[in-house]
Amino acid sequence: MDLSTVLLQVEEACADLQVPSTRHAGEQVIMSFKQMSGNLDACQYILGIRDSRLYFVFEGISIEFKELDVELLFTASKILHTISVMIKRSLDDCHEIEKQSMLIQIQELVAMDGYNRQVGVALANELVDEFSTTKASNVGLPWDFHKKTKEFFEATFLLPLFEMVLRILHQRSQFYIEKQLSQNFTNGHGHTTNNLQNDLRHDTLLTISLNLVEKILYWDFVSKNDSLLAGTFAKEGNDIIEDTLFITAKTREFPANWRSHIIHNEVLRMFFTLYKIVQQNEALAHHCRQCLIQISGLHGEIFETEQQITEYVTLMVHEISELMNNLSSSMHERAASYEYGQSLLGISQMIRRLLCTFPLPTLCNVPDISTFLHEVAQLSATCLRESVMKDGYGYLIDDSSWSLEAFDELLAIWVKLVQDVQSYRNGQNENRAIPFHNLTAIMTFLAEASYHIVATYIDTRLEVAKFTVNDDEEEEANGFKDWDTYGDQLLSISILARIVSQQTLEKLQALLHERLMQLKLFFEAIADNNNSTISGIYHSLLYIYESLHWLILISACVLADPGEGEQPLIPDSLMQLSISQDNLGKNHDQTVMLLNTVLGILDLVSLDTSVIEISHCSPRVAESLFWFFERWGKTYLLLDESDYQSISIILSYYNNSNNIVCAFGKPERHGEGMRILHFLVDKIKTNFILWNGDPDPLLQIVRLLNSYGKKSALRNGLLKSDNFSELLTFFTENLDHFPQMIHNSLIQTIAIITSGAADDEIKQSYFQMITRAIEKRFLAVLQKPDFSQVYQQADIISEVQNALEMFDGLALASDFSNTTLIYNFCSKYFEFFVRLLQYYKNCPEVGILVLQFFNSFVTYQDFSELSSEQTKTVYQTIVEMLKAYSEANIGKKQLLASEEEADEPYADISILLDMLSEIMASEFQGFDDLKQETKTTDCDVSSVVFYGVNLLIPLISLQIPKICKEYMRLIAHIVEFYPDKLGVLPVELLNNLFASLEYGIEKYPLFAITPLALYYHNEERKKGNAIQHLGSPLDKFLQIVLECFLFKDFESDLLEPASETLVALICSRR
């Protein structure tokens, strides 16, 4: 081989690569050079004679690479991982002596010096990962093998490895302590710190040792958490006690034989000492913090006596208190917010683990617990103040998330302590008693701490409001309201506030009244055209509104609970406060005074559109006010005094009045609840006019009405109110002036309320008002003479959509009391709806609304209230609608990429699948009703469902998980309820059904195959011949299920349904 010729060819090829026209030829030369024999010699020759700078760069990299410690590269980690897998895999083939020798060899490696020690610790790291539940390698072995090997490793290896790594950490901590002392004696402190940080950065042994001890402390012990092992029949989520969920990431419970190793005072102190050494190194400090968080919540049989627990808590209190003091001293000198924030959050999590793990009597026995709790209270307030710290220019520091997260951790502690004290005080906890004087002292302290935290929280929110008046982008961007975003935080604050209800309500009352007066002053200045006053306070108007928003939110949470799914009661502490102030009269009752202030604010900001002040009103405050009355009204307005024993006694035996009953109760108890309800109805109308272009406050008003309509006392109160019929007339006559997005929910809400009218004549009158408004808008579009020419115009499409949304809202309001009324009205337009599908076959937005109406109609109509003829009409219309939809969509291709990016891919298919499921359910409505037995229809429900499935199969994409799941659920219900129909189905439809089940059998259709197999089994026992065609598909399903069990990756959640399916298939095909 002539090497100079090869060099010339390579150079020419490289030159050709630079020219587009010859690039392909150059690539072919280079590729042929790659395949040429002896190319290594040619490469050495080319590199050896080159004087290019690129060659020297290559040579430099090669030299540097040779200097690297290859054993510490990625390869070493993979080798150790492979060794750990081999050790685990070979355990079944090893004798006990060989198994023990593995541990001995690791210990011998660690006993050596230098690199061998690092290899030993790194191997221990890999072994802990490999034998754990979550990080074990997928090597195709069954669960029982992983469980058995984990049990062996846990019983044999884990504790010795823990002892080993503790000795290493102790040695490293002593080394750094001695080094610091000697350097401090020789050099200055700054020089010592730099040397220490440099040493820590290069201390690989310390890094991997901390990583190992962290993994061991987080080990999920089989002996303590056996039911939680993947693949076993573990407890369902609903079986877990809620109290354990409240304490997030609770420390694992260690076995008793770990007692002398983990709760030893020297071991515990060693972790804190090590943290103080490495806290300036963020990587090491993070691992060390996680270890401290774990050891802060030790519990269970690892403690033998109560005295051991007390000693442990005492030591932890002392050490954590020292960390808090060190953190406080560096608060104003912190070098980096990230490091400080991590430390703050870590210490808060340690405190939460410690105080939330042990019961109140145990904490009371700790000598310095009161001092410690005072420090925790100060830290809680500090976290809040830190969240509103300003920079040198007077702006809020953006990165306050660490402080807020830490505050949430500490807030959970105070809530837990308050709830524990209340349970002991009320005698609900009989396991261990607390002396009365101790309980009183704790309650006094918690009251002081709670008010300090609540007051600081309110002040902090008001301080933040000053800096966010011009920045409302966050709430608009994420679509969540503040009461949703900060719901958990506000709930916790309200629990603390109710401990000191009088002081909290007084503070909120004073702050709200102050802003009410400021707002009045501003509006009066505008009315008087006082420019000097306006200019003097205009700059603070936005702050007034923002602070009002937060004060209203906090007040609502303190006064009432959300009451999701149940009737919320007045909090006991607020009821007791009101009873204690009965002698003062309702106008001096703190709860009533606060409500009257909020009513005054609503009255002030609900302005007539003719006044000039409306340009300075806030839709955000209006929305917050109606959210307040939605939450507050469900609890207080027209309350039932029989729900409260304390009030009932006062009213029945002492014949005294109660402030809350007088202010918010029913008229028969001389309550003024109807007056407030009348006031709210009036303000609802005013605000609908004021904010007719802003959907947010209007939607909140609709939610308030919907909430009131679901409570019988409030619904009846609305219907009895003199101005409700006027409000209803206003709604129906002015629908055109409201945003379209509220039409659906508004129609639904007022239909629900009016359906509750006791008088049929009044109900009919209200219902006709609603239907006339809907009919007017719908017919105004359809009866246009040129509709067939203009139906594709944007404004016409918008009007059609609006009318369909109102029909859907009416369908959503269906129940047993109004089913006939709604059917009689909607059925007149069934034919028009089907025609709209044909008209707008190229406008999916309209088509989806038509489908949504039919889905809502089928879902919420009570079919037991309809006659046979009416039911037949519904089913026949569904068939016609399905036919029109299929004709409009068959053959169309949906772009999968764009659909996957949509919020609801294949929304039309999803609606139809849901509708078919609801049609099946409608057949069984009123099954125990006598008149249901006599009802017969010419239209079979199963034929409607099978017809719909047959039309949808070509349109369905099972690649979309939601669609696949809904489709499989529908098929499962078909097989379960109509197995006898399978024998008469067309062969093509039956094959499609079975192909669908086979497609997704590893996930969704398991519960569909089970009833099919059981049906086959039962029919076979009856010697039926109509089922023989099911045998072949069932054999295929049996094969697939067995393959899933034996050879494929399998989700543990599917173990139980898959087992049931396997048993059913075996029974049917044995």
Is 156 or 330 the better-scoring residue by pLDDT? 156
User: Tokens for 674?
Assistant: 């109807």
Per-residue pLDDT at 1012: 82
Mean pLDDT computed over 484-511: 96
Q: Does position 229 have pLDDT exceeding 50, yes or no?
A: no
Q: Does position 907 have pLDDT exceeding 70, yes or no?
A: yes
CA angle 400, 458, 344 (to 5 degrees): 30
Is 251 or 338 the better-scoring residue by pLDDT? 251
Write the CB contacts of 200 (distance below 8 Å, at least 6 apart in sequence): 176, 206, 277, 278, 280, 281, 284
User: Please, how many CA atoms are within 13 Å of residue 499, restricted to the half-sphere of its CB?
Assistant: 28
CA dihedral 296, 299, 302, 304 (to 10 degrees): 110
Q: Does position 857 have pLDDT exceeding 90, yes or no?
A: yes
Per-residue pLDDT at 32: 79
Q: Which contacts (CB < 8 Å, 24+ apart) does range 116-120 have?
A: 117/168, 117/205, 118/204, 118/205, 118/208, 119/71, 119/76, 119/80
Are 908 and 848 within 8 A, CB to CB? Answer: yes
> How far out from the chain centre does Cα 389 lie?
29
Residue 379 sits at φ, ψ, to 5 deg, of: -65, -40
AA letter at 969:
R
Average pLDDT, the chain: 83
Per-residue pLDDT at 872: 93
> How far out from the chain centre does Cα 662 lie?
41
User: Tokens for 277?
Assistant: 């050494």
User: DSSP assignment, residue 135?
Assistant: S
Mean pLDDT computed over 816-832: 94
Q: Does position 823 have pLDDT exceeding 60, yes or no?
A: yes
Are 991 and 1043 within 8 A, CB to CB? Answer: no
Closest CA to 678 of 722, 735, 630: 722
Write the CB contacts of 960 (distance below 8 Å, at least 6 apart in sequence): 899, 900, 905, 906
Instruction: Summarize pLDDT for 236-248 with one digit per residue, the tens.
Output: 433 333 343 344 4
Instruction: Summarize pLDDT for 164-209 with one digit per residue, the tens.
Output: 999 999 999 999 888 877 766 555 555 556 777 788 888 889 999 9
Are 632 and 626 within 8 A, CB to CB? Answer: no
Write the CB contacts of 865 (distance below 8 Å, at least 6 apart in sequence): 816, 819, 820, 926
Instruction: Summarize pLDDT for 960-1009 with one digit per residue, the tens.
Output: 777 877 887 888 788 778 877 777 777 888 887 788 777 766 656 677 78
Which SS3 state, helix, strand or coil, does residue 1002 take?
coil
Instruction: Summarize pLDDT for 27-39 with one digit per residue, the tens.
Output: 788 777 766 777 7
Confidence of residue 391 (pLDDT cuts 50, 70, 90): low
Instruction: Summarize pLDDT for 724-749 with one digit per residue, the tens.
Output: 999 999 999 888 889 989 999 999 99
Instruction: Summarize pLDDT for 927-950 with one digit per residue, the tens.
Output: 444 344 444 555 678 889 988 988
**How many whole angstroms separate alpha carbon 23 and alpha carbon 16?**
5
Per-residue pLDDT at 783: 87
Which SS3 state, helix, strand or coil, does residue 299 take?
coil
Is 392 or 221 the better-scoring residue by pLDDT? 221
Are 628 and 683 within 8 A, CB to CB? Answer: no
Q: Does position 760 have pLDDT exceeding 90, yes or no?
A: no
Per-residue pLDDT at 70: 47
Instruction: Summarize pLDDT for 353-376 with one digit per residue, the tens.
Output: 999 999 999 999 899 899 999 999
Per-residue pLDDT at 312: 96
Per-residue pLDDT at 237: 38
Instruction: Summarize pLDDT for 553-576 with one digit per residue, the tens.
Output: 999 999 999 977 778 999 999 999
The residues that bridge with 396 in the sheet, in sequence order, are 390
Write the CB contacts of 618 (distance below 8 Å, at least 6 apart in sequence): 545, 548, 549, 605
Per-residue pLDDT at 390: 62
Q: Does position 523 have pLDDT exceeding 80, yes or no?
A: yes
Is 933 or 714 the better-scoring residue by pLDDT? 714
Q: Does position 146 have pLDDT exceeding 80, yes or no?
A: yes
Q: Does position 479 have pLDDT exceeding 90, yes or no?
A: no
Q: Which of 10-14, 626-630, 937-941 has the lowest mean pLDDT?
A: 937-941
Residue that the structure tokens 């800096």 belong to:
467
Which SS3 state, helix, strand or coil, does residue 460 take?
helix
Mean pLDDT computed over 859-882: 93
Residue that the structure tokens 């993979």 belong to:
78
Got the DSSP string for 257-275?
A: GGHHHHS-HHHHHHHHHHH
Per-residue pLDDT at 180: 77
**How many whole angstroms separate alpha carbon 36 and alpha carbon 40?**
9
Got the DSSP string for 780-810?
A: HHHT-TTHHHHTTSHHHHHHHHHHHHHHHHH
**How many whole angstroms separate alpha carbon 791 and alpha carbon 506?**
61
AA letter at 673:
G
Are 932 and 979 within 8 A, CB to CB? Answer: no
**How many whole angstroms separate alpha carbon 1065 and alpha carbon 1010?**
7
Provide the sign of the torsion angle of the four alpha carbons 695, 697, 698, 701, taken in this order: positive
Closest CA to 125 of 168, 94, 96: 168
Per-residue pLDDT at 241: 36
Are 138 and 1049 within 8 A, CB to CB? Answer: yes
**Within a 10 A sphere around the Cβ of 386, how many other Cβ atoms?**
22
**How many whole angstroms separate alpha carbon 622 and alpha carbon 383?**
31
Mean pLDDT computed over 850-868: 93
Are 855 and 911 within 8 A, CB to CB? Answer: yes
Per-residue pLDDT at 875: 94
Q: Which of 206-215, 453-462, 1055-1064 has the lowest mean pLDDT?
A: 1055-1064
Q: Which of 286-290, 414-418, 600-604, 1051-1055 has the lowest mean pLDDT?
A: 1051-1055
CA angle 987, 990, 991 (to 5 degrees): 85
> How far out from the chain centre does Cα 328 lie?
34
**How many whole angstroms separate alpha carbon 700 and alpha carbon 66?**
70
Closest CA to 177 of 209, 185, 115: 185
Mean pLDDT computed over 508-524: 93
% of the chain at pLDDT higher than 70: 83
Per-residue pLDDT at 526: 82
Q: Does position 154 have pLDDT exceeding 60, yes or no?
A: yes
Confidence of residue 1030 (pLDDT cuts 50, 70, 90): confident
Is 576 or 10 the better-scoring residue by pLDDT? 576
Residue 309 vs residues 252, 259, 273: alpha-carbon distances, Å: 16, 12, 21
Instruction: Summarize pLDDT for 436-446 with one digit per residue, the tens.
Output: 677 888 999 99
Closest CA to 691 of 809, 606, 816: 606
**How many whole angstroms separate alpha carbon 179 and alpha carbon 969?**
68
**How many whole angstroms separate alpha carbon 122 and alpha carbon 120?**
5
**What is the model's pTM?**
0.83
Are 131 and 101 within 8 A, CB to CB? Answer: no
